[in-house]
Structure 1
Amino acid sequence: MEYYNGILCISHDDLTRNDAPEGKPSDAIMGESNYKKLASGKKCKEKINVVRPGKGANAYALVEVASIPSRFLQLVNQKYPNQGINMILRKWFDEHYYPDTEAREVYSSFRFDNGKPIPPEKQVEYVTNASVLGAVISLFNDRKIMKKAMGGRVRWDEMAEAVAYYQEKYGHTLPGNPARFKEKVQQFQSGGYGALISKKFRNQNTRKVSVQIEKLILSIAAQPTNPYNNTIHELFTQFMSGEIDICDPQTGELFDRKDFFDKKGKPLELSEATIWNYVNNPKNQILLGKLRNTQWDFNNKYTPHHNRHSPFFSFSKISLDDRDLPRKAHGGQRPKAYYVYDVTSGCVIGYAHSRTKDVDLFIDCVRNMFRTIERNGWCMPAQAEVEHHLVNNFADGLMKAGVVFPFVRWCNPGNSQEKRAEHGNRAKKYGVEKNNHVGIGRWYNKKEVNRPKIDKEYDELNNTYKEKTFSYEELVADDIRDIYEYNNENHPNNKLYPNMTRWQVLCDNMNPDLRPMDKAILYRFIGEHTQTTIRRTQYMQVANRKFALSSPNVVEALASNDYKVDAYYLPDEEGNIDEVYIYQGDSYIDTCKPLGSYNEATCEQTDEDVTEYIEQSKYVSQFRKMVKDEKIQKVVIIPREEKEALESVEAKAVMIPAPVEHEEEEGAEEYNPFLNSDYMKSYARAAL
């Protein structure tokens, strides 16, 4: 047999040659006629693969051994028994080898004592070995093939040879020695997948440092001074040698160095490399980072984050956040700004500016947003996303879910990447603002183009920098212009909103399930407030202007003998007030419109004067109708003495004989003076 192009072959001559002595039966593996039939495959179902035809001067035909039918492979083994080649086993293994998926899962998830995984190349090796041994074990259960190949019992030399034959094809590292191969099969049967992991490889990955010692190393590394690795190694060595003591600051208990000795009872010695490996382990870096870093740095470097996508409709969610404008005003302070972003479009729908970051800045921003909403006839946003800073004072009122906004999302403190408004601030800053102004960026930014140029003045203070400043009014005006330009830029998601600006996405893509604003509730939280008094059942005075009740019957809702009310209103950008909402305590009373006036000179009256006259006349008519409909019934007050005398007279009147009966004309009514109340009263008084 020989290899031809990597294929094990047997020659045509070896298959058809008769080496038996004369007079003896032929020992040819197959006859010439059988060979031709199998080679052509025309007159039989089976076919051999002739990989090289016997053409040429020194050429001879070669047949792939694996393609020879099993009945002829048995004859090959009988004819060449001393070669130790079991063709039936080779063919069976070639047809029944499958990668062991369970072994792949086991070895990929395996960890040594020091927490390290099996290297990828070793994982491939162990999976291949397990797959080969799995085929060998499954062969033991195939009695038919076992009887054909080895007479019904395991011949380990033939088994090992057949497996070793495929070493180059499958890349396994199983031993070729029959005794060692048998031992490996038995170990795999009893020990499973773990039996294939080399003991030498296990010993190299044995955990020298216990969990307790690792925690000690990390505790030393977590000192407030953030020591370097060589300092950690030095402190650990001093502790193990008894030069220093380490204690728990919470309990005051000293660590016992004997608890950290090795198995032989000697102080454990660790190299700087070992210390470095444990300190820089990714998991340990997270634990140390929690102690060494600020909450903001830790969240942005280590903490996993949620993967989200923006809502499709405008006003499904808005996000609010404050910021310092990047350029300084005269005096070195940066103006403060508060923005409201629509998450879908990215538009700034509300803004406010101030010299200080306080609650008024937040309220002014919310007022600006609702003025924009009212001016455009939009509905109430479905959800507001806010932070605890500044807004926490409104948690039980304006920013309580279901009061003004149906849903309210409170962001976690120190997690700036959670707020969509932070994303909007960054897009605005490094977009419109950077293009329009000089010096936008941060000196520590990773990108050089986003680092502003700042020159330091080396004076006695050593903390002075040359930086251009501007007036507060100029910075605010620039920011308002930047907001307008930013809102009218193309939306960044051009695929979803092609050729649409942020403002167009905001206006044309409103959520259809939104509800109108309830300004009576809203203005109580964000509006201006004043106390006033209802006068003449008609009006009250707010901001030097009269506002009329919607109806005279409104006074019925007032508390007893109390005409004072709380008025809430929100002036527009020009200071005009369209409506005033009045309350007494927590009870809503009425929505009041401005009370107009008309020219009393008929010759000068306009259509507006006539309309105003009619409206006021209607109101007066409603008042008169209310007074008339609710007219109080008049009564006569009878003193007690008169009542007793009246009762006495009525009792005597019963004893007066009845009048003489006489015929009356049909239809005439009987008159009884004692049944007339006025008559009885006058009679009683006369009797007295």
Structure 2
Amino acid sequence: MEYFGKILCISKEDLTRDDRPMVGGYQIDDIKAPIMSVSCYDQLVYRKKIRVIRKGVGRGVTALVSVESLPEKYRKRVEEKYGNMRLEILRHWFLVHWVVDDSARTFYTRKSLVLGDNFDLEKQQECVLNASAIQAVLRLMDDVKMQRAVMQGERLCWEEMAGAINFYQAEFGHTLPLSVNRFKKKVLEFKEKGYEALISKKFGNQNTRLVNVKIEKLLVSIAARPNRPWNTSVCDMYNQFVRGELEMFNPETGEIYNPADFTDKKGNPIELSPSTVQYYLTLPKNQALIDKQQMSWTTFMHEQRPHVHRESPEYSFSKVSFDDRDLPRKLKDSKQRPKAYYAYDVASQCVVGFSYSRKKDVDLVVDMFRNMFRLIERNGWGIPAQVEVENHLMSQWKEGFLEAGKVFKFVRFCAPQNSQEKYAEPLNGAKKRSLEHEHQLGIGRFYAKSKKYRTEAKKVFDELNDTYVDKQYYTWEELIAEDQEIIRLFNESLHPNQKKYPGMSRWQVLCERMNPNLQPYDKAYIAQFIGECVPTTIRRNSYCRVNYTDYWLSSPEVIEKLSPNNYKVDAYYIPEEDGSIKDVFIYQDGKQIDTLVDMGRFNTADVEQTEEDKRILGKQMKYIHAFDEMMVRNGVTPVGTLKSESVKQIASAPVKAVKIPKTEEIDYLNYFKGKDYTRIGQDAV
């Protein structure tokens, strides 16, 4: 038998099949005889005495007949042969209302994280089945209530659900009580507390623990002492305390711990074995708590504290990271290590700026910025969008040069002693472990785990007993030249992410993957922050003297930008690698006035003049002529005064035409030739 929809049916084959066994050529079991013959089935169908729910169309699809439509005698024979149909209907009805509760499965899975390993998968599955059984019974009750309400029948009582409760227990194996009253109590508790009501009270409590939360916390507090006691010492101190042989207190609150709080139900002190103490002190959570007290802030942060996971940017100059370091090898003269400051592009990992000094000071940082901006100027790149700097040497520019939006769009000041935050830190290590270790001697650390990276020094037995001598020392020029060569090799080496940049070096990634949205490089603006500043004065409306060199204004009209009666200006310039000056910018009251020009000086003796001297002379005379033209163009004539009678006489006088003489062009290159300035001076007198 089977259900077609909600109708209990029996197939034509089950009605007409002979299941009697053959014994000696005879079929002796009448119960397993056919319910009816095939011809009888056909007659009942023809006379419409039975209801065919599905017609047999062949290909394995057999006809189905409604059991309820069978005549009484055939229905009894079906029950004798295939079982009680009423029980089968109830079984199907119960199964229709059974659904595994997915919400319960999710709840108990998450609850296992809180309750621990004791609440394993088997216990979780048991709770899910119990929740599903309760939900099925509640749905079944609602269904019965609806039917009786429609049919105006009697009210439903819990005793009628006993069959369903037993069925679900036999079919699915729930562990709910089979007693109706106890089951009803469990259902009411489930309605009130939800899924929590099905979790046994033995999970998540401290009643069965020998070491409860208070004892565990005391053990951790003892282990967190500054002298870092061994676990066996912690065990001895705890047992002495609970026996009353040792006093313990909280140094922060002043509370004195009472041994009576660490006893069992009978009042006996709870003493622990070394293995038990070892177990609780090595739990990951307790180990982290102990390390938090015993480690320094930086050590705990680097070893225990979680950290963020980052990805490198897609474009060059989206972010540049700065960091300082001591070169690994020492100088001959001072036995000290030179200080270096590097700027790394995060995307390409290229070194885009570097500087060196004997001291870690502000000048070291300024030289590094100058070196980086000189590289940017030579290649025509834009300003990096973001910089990542440290607090030690950079904090003085927080309100100026390194204020977000002034020069760089984004500025990040990394926390002090947090080396993992700066991307330049691992790049310093990558550069040292690869190319420096390959091309230089004495590269490594004295405490390195690998002997390939371990360095050694000779100890000097003196009164200090802490003096060591390296195997070799170097000059300043050697160390700086070799480090710059390593930087060149580092930039030209293959980018480590060859899957993303196949066959490309770090320098190629830097040049070809430049961020297209960078701000243009404004040298005059940058020079105010990292350039040299020289207070000077505009002399003779033409030049300023900076570092014993005369720099000319770009045009005479520049003097129109000066404040009244004020020729004093501030000259800014970014020196080149060799100390020379390429561009000089003058400012007055924080406003840029002009970019000065180094016209140079020419030889005053005509016989010694070269083409370069003539070019310089021509440029200077051109400026002087432009100044003369500005004077003529903007010149004024002194005002004369006349009496009214004189004006009338002039008005009545006859008009005469006046011819204005033409002015000849000035030859700047031959300005002094062919002129007798002595005669010109005498005529002027």
Counterpart AA for 2:198: L
Matches within 5 A, 1:252-291: 253-255=254-256, 257=258, 260=261, 266=267, 269=270, 271-272=272-273, 275-276=277-278, 278-291=280-293
Matches within 5 A, 1:158-169: 158-159=163-164, 162-167=167-172
Which residue is 1:5 aligned to? none
Q: CA deviation at 1:340?
A: 0.3
Counterpart AA for 2:435: V
Distance 1:354 1:450, change over 3 A: farther
Matches within 5 A, 1:495-510: 495-510=499-514
Which residue is 1:385 aligned to? 388
Which residue is 1:527 aligned to? 531
Which residue is 2:100 aligned to? 99
Counterpart AA for 1:126: C
Which residue is 2:411 aligned to? 408
Q: CA deviation at 1:94?
A: 5.2
Alpha-carbon distance in structure 2 between the residues aligned to 1:46 and 1:129: 42
Distance 1:45 1:332, change over 3 A: farther
Which residue is 2:125 aligned to? 124
- Residues 371-405 of structure 1: CA distance to partner in whole angstroms, max 9, x if unpaired? 11111122211111101021122222221222222
Structure 1 stretch displaced more, 123-132 or 349-358: 123-132
Q: CA deviation at 1:184?
A: 5.0
Q: CA deviation at 1:408?
A: 1.1
Which structure 2 residue ranges, 5 or more long, are not aligned?
A: 1-12, 21-29, 42-51, 57-63, 149-154, 654-685
Distance 1:70 1:286, change over 3 A: farther
Alpha-carbon distance in structure 2 between the residues aligned to 1:417 and 1:301: 11
Distance 1:215 1:604, change over 3 A: same
2:472 to 469, 474, 486: 469
Matches within 5 A, 1:133-282: 133-143=134-144, 158-159=163-164, 162-167=167-172, 172=173, 174=175, 178-179=178-179, 183-184=182-183, 186-191=185-190, 192-201=194-203, 215-250=217-252, 253-255=254-256, 257=258, 260=261, 266=267, 269=270, 271-272=272-273, 275-276=277-278, 278-282=280-284
- Residues 655-686 of structure 1: CA distance to partner in whole angstroms, max 9, x if unpaired? xxxxxxxxxxxxx9779xxxxxxxxxxxxxxx
Alpha-carbon distance in structure 1 between the residues aligned to 2:141 and 2:34: 30
Q: CA deviation at 1:488?
A: 0.9
Which residue is 2:424 aligned to? 421
- The answer on whether the counterparts of 1:110 and 1:117 sit within 8 Å (CA) in structure 2 is no
SS state at 1:470 partner: coil
Structure 1 stretch displaced more, 80-89 or 197-206: 80-89
Alpha-carbon distance in structure 2 between the residues aligned to 1:552 and 1:222: 77
Q: CA deviation at 1:547?
A: 0.8
- The answer on whether the counterparts of 2:112 and 2:120 sit within 8 Å (CA) in structure 1 is no
Distance 1:29 1:274, change over 3 A: farther
Which residue is 1:339 aligned to? 342
Alpha-carbon distance in structure 1 between the residues aligned to 2:597 and 2:362: 29
Q: CA deviation at 1:630?
A: 5.0
Which residue is 2:378 aligned to? 375
Counterpart AA for 1:480: Q
- The answer on whether the counterparts of 1:539 and 1:595 sit within 8 Å (CA) in structure 2 is no
Q: CA deviation at 1:620?
A: 1.0
Counterpart AA for 1:362: V
SS state at 1:566 partner: strand
SS state at 2:533 partner: strand
Q: CA deviation at 1:410?
A: 0.9
Distance 1:487 1:184, change over 3 A: farther
2:554 to 531, 550, 554: 550
Alpha-carbon distance in structure 2 between the residues aligned to 1:548 and 1:516: 26
Alpha-carbon distance in structure 1 between the residues aligned to 2:255 and 2:39: 88
Q: CA deviation at 1:102?
A: 1.6
TM-score (norm: length of structure 1): 0.73
Q: CA deviation at 1:120?
A: 3.5
Which structure 1 residue ranges, 5 or more long, are not aligned?
A: 1-10, 19-25, 38-42, 48-66, 639-645, 654-667, 672-688
1:595 to 595, 599, 609: 599
Counterpart AA for 2:597: K
Alpha-carbon distance in structure 1 between the residues aligned to 2:171 and 2:605: 118
Alpha-carbon distance in structure 2 between the residues aligned to 1:152 and 1:30: 41
Counterpart AA for 1:512: P
- Residues 15-72 of structure 1: CA distance to partner in whole angstroms, max 9, x if unpaired? 9789xxxxxxx988982559999xxxxx86399xxxxxxxxxxxxxxxxxxx999879
Counterpart AA for 1:257: N
2:540 to 529, 536, 543: 536
- The answer on whether the counterparts of 1:258 and 1:267 sit within 8 Å (CA) in structure 2 is no
SS state at 1:398 partner: coil
Distance 1:117 1:426, change over 3 A: farther
Q: CA deviation at 1:263?
A: 8.4
Which residue is 1:394 aligned to? 397
SS state at 2:572 partner: strand
Counterpart AA for 2:546: V
Distance 1:68 1:103, change over 3 A: farther
Alpha-carbon distance in structure 1 between the residues aligned to 2:187 and 2:144: 21
Alpha-carbon distance in structure 2 between the residues aligned to 1:96 and 1:165: 15
- Residues 504-531 of structure 1: CA distance to partner in whole angstroms, max 9, x if unpaired? 1111222222222222221222223333
Size of the alignment, in residue pairs?
598
Which residue is 2:679 aligned to? none
Over the matched positions of the two proteins, sequence identity in percent amounts to 41
Which residue is 1:483 aligned to? 487
Distance 1:497 1:79, change over 3 A: same
Q: Does 1:361 align with 2:364?
A: yes
Distance 1:427 1:70, change over 3 A: farther
Alpha-carbon distance in structure 1 between the residues aligned to 2:322 and 2:439: 24
Q: Does 1:571 align with 2:575?
A: yes
Alpha-carbon distance in structure 2 between the residues aligned to 1:582 and 1:505: 37
Alpha-carbon distance in structure 1 between the residues aligned to 2:165 and 2:145: 20
SS state at 1:624 partner: helix
Counterpart AA for 1:254: E
Counterpart AA for 2:629: K
Matches within 5 A, 1:673-688: none
- The answer on whether the counterparts of 1:29 and 1:75 sit within 8 Å (CA) in structure 2 is no
Distance 1:309 1:164, change over 3 A: same
Alpha-carbon distance in structure 1 between the residues aligned to 2:34 and 2:55: 14
Structure 1 stretch displaced more, 240-249 or 454-463: 454-463
CA RMSD between the two structures: 4.8
SS state at 1:110 partner: helix
- The answer on whether the counterparts of 1:85 and 1:161 sit within 8 Å (CA) in structure 2 is no
Which residue is 1:615 aligned to? 619
Alpha-carbon distance in structure 1 between the residues aligned to 2:236 and 2:637: 104
- The answer on whether the counterparts of 1:295 and 1:414 sit within 8 Å (CA) in structure 2 is no
- The answer on whether the counterparts of 2:53 and 2:65 sit within 8 Å (CA) in structure 1 is no
Q: CA deviation at 1:637?
A: 11
SS state at 2:384 partner: coil
Distance 1:348 1:113, change over 3 A: closer
- The answer on whether the counterparts of 1:114 and 1:205 sit within 8 Å (CA) in structure 2 is no
Which residue is 1:3 aligned to? none
TM-score (norm: length of structure 2): 0.73
Counterpart AA for 1:527: G
Q: CA deviation at 1:158?
A: 4.7
Which residue is 2:10 aligned to? none
- Residues 420-459 of structure 1: CA distance to partner in whole angstroms, max 9, x if unpaired? 111321222222223323453335456x366325377595
Q: Does 1:45 align with 2:49?
A: no
Alpha-carbon distance in structure 1 between the residues aligned to 2:39 and 2:367: 99
Q: CA deviation at 1:489?
A: 1.4
